[in-house]
Structure 1
Amino acid sequence: MSDYFDYSSDDTEHDDQYGDEAFDNNQYDEDDLYHSGDQYSGRIQLSDYASEASTNRIDSEEESFNSNVVDSPGGKTKLWKPIVHKEFMSDVDATYQSLEEAVEMYKLYANKAGFGVRLNTVTRFGDKTIKKRYVVCNKMGKIPNRSTDTLDPEGTGRNKQNSNFRITDCKALIKFERLHMRTNACKIYEFEEKHNHPLETKEERRYSKRARRLSYKDKEFIVHSSTSNIGATKAHKLQASLQGGYENIGHEAIDYKNFRRKMGNIIGDKDAQLVVDKMSMRKDELPNYTFEYKCVDSVLNAMFWVDETDKLYYKEFGDVISFDATFRTNEYGMIFVPFTAIDNHKRSINIGAGLLSNESIESYRWLLEAFLKAHGKHPQLVLTDQDPAILQAIEAIFPSSNHPLCM
């Protein structure tokens, strides 16, 4: 089989040892595990594979975080050898149908042993398909020097990261290689099972880095909670209540807060563009939907929107309207201006809404012009507060409307 190897065109890559290459035992990171040229079909869904495997285990064998302490060859340091049920053990020269299946096997082994793993070195054939792949303990790597001088008045020293996770230069790893470039089958050609650090206990497992990593469903739940004006801490409490207790979710409130912060950082200064894009899409897809906005120096200055139902309400009950500019959003400082009327059941109904960055005469005039453009007729009576900017804007845009002030 060695005749199929093309060593002359090897392309060995080393993945970042401290980046996002680390992965948990629930899902893969976005790693190029398989190149597009690989001859692989029917890729296994890893989460399904793991669930099926764990479902078939006996409860007494499911959780094993014990390890034997052995001396290193020189006798100077201690090493920890996992005690794992034999069905999860790996043997050198063992073969698998695909590299993906082999990596999944090692993930299950690591989960039972009580340590995290990450993808590391990859070697490719001449056609760029993967030939060799290393999977290592997530504590592998050079121990970083993060010391800092607390007496340094300039504060130029690097602060130490506030984390319980430590790199120990662990040598535990497993190496897979494809049998040849014409098949996905692979085998183990090297396996080091001893670690230079204690393995996780059953109690420590829920606080590990991989156990606290949020799944897609967790992230989706946080996003939906955020859009419903539910903060990260309350969302965490709600999730714990839905799952029957904090011990069943594995994540801490700080994990929810961190993701919520990252989500905000990703949106960043593009949030206004997202709103404009969403409103514009509604304008294109919904019948008789009106959306207008104004920018000043590429900054959203004002916007107005009204849907088909609001227009029908205004047509029937738009003789007397009121708009109130006393609502100010808490994060962006923009003024929310709802337009309301009263139906024949004496209920308040919405006939339009706007957002303004300031309460100038020009802003109110633009808003009333957008309102008139959407509805097509002047109201007979307009109720507002005593804001002088509103008074002048109404006189300019609705000259035929009566304008009494509210109490």
Structure 2
Amino acid sequence: MVSIDLNVEPDVGEGTIVNSTTPTTPCPGMCFESGLEFSEFFHRYAYMTGFELFVVGNRIKEYKDKGVSKIGIDDLEARPHMMEMIRLKCKKGGVKSSVGSNVTGCKVFVYGKEKNGEFVVISCQLEHNHPLTPESSRMMINYRSIDSATFDRVMINERAGVSVSRNFGTQLIEKGGFDNMTFNKKDLRNAIAVERRKTMFEKGDDVALEEYFKAQRDLNADFYSSIQRDEEGVLKNAFWSDARSRGNCKYFGDVISFDTTFSSNRYRMPFAPFVGVNHHGRSIVFAAALISHEDTPSFVWVFEEWLKCMGKPPMGIITDQDKAIGRAISIFFPGVPHRLCLWHMLQNASRNLGKLDEWKSIDTLIRTAVHDMLDPEEFDEAWCLVMEKYNQHKGWM
């Protein structure tokens, strides 16, 4: 997330007047003191205009340990005063890959480079091919945030045993509805999980886990493990696979299932196993991970570790309907077929439609369509009957 302070504007050149209600229109030749200031200015411009930017280009990996991410540049820079170059692109850029994709092929970009001791806008394209929604900026992924006062109250409730759902509901009432919220329930759950990890791991459990991994490697050199820590040194994510699991993956790892729905542990960190099926039709575990944030960067890290561990990507992957997982797969396994787990889909249908008076009838028809139809044409016909019977012809259905 990017912290946007609309009350502070950067100096973008002598004679330029900027206020917090009308964003300054970027143009080639604009000068900034550093890459950080450049990044902050354009994220502020995007926020006020109603779209999101992210970093593209081959310098991300090179500068990753210096504070560069897909969102932009944080307080650490590759050099004391500036980056050498940075390219920001509209998040709706790219090729539309599915019906539900938000990608529109937008060509908006900004390219900046160090020049004569300043960071200069070299070129930019600002014409979007999609509507801009400044009224929704506060809930865009880059700009969602929880202020410290709100979070302090949330943690008081959390320690008193208040659930995330009730905690979020309380904030919803206090702030006067969704229109005034700057975070969603998942953001709150992730923030609480981070705080719980800090508290719990202070007692040494993360050290115990690291020592366990080391002991397993000493027993068998084929045991693979990796731990990712945040900037404060707190355990963020963990991945591991033993020798037998890695061996099984060589024979049965063509198609894997990745499930993050199990989180019943005291750290509230989702346990995410990689599961396949052997020649007896039985489920086998290839690897597992503990994940602090159910977000795209965390899943990308897990998939990177999978590739290091197994040496090859899967030929197919099945997951639940988590959008962050889908984005991570498209980034790290772009050519791998990705399918959604039918069990999770039916569970979601029951969760969202189960209170309807006709749910039993709907459930029977849905299960008939997905279980009894043997080819695509039969399924399409059966599904159309469900849609027609209940007058549902919306795109998301």
TM-score (norm 2): 0.35
**Relative CO higher for 1 or 2, CA cutoff 8 Å, sep ≥ 6?**
1
Which one has a bigger Cα radius of gyration?
A: 1
Greater fraction helix: 2
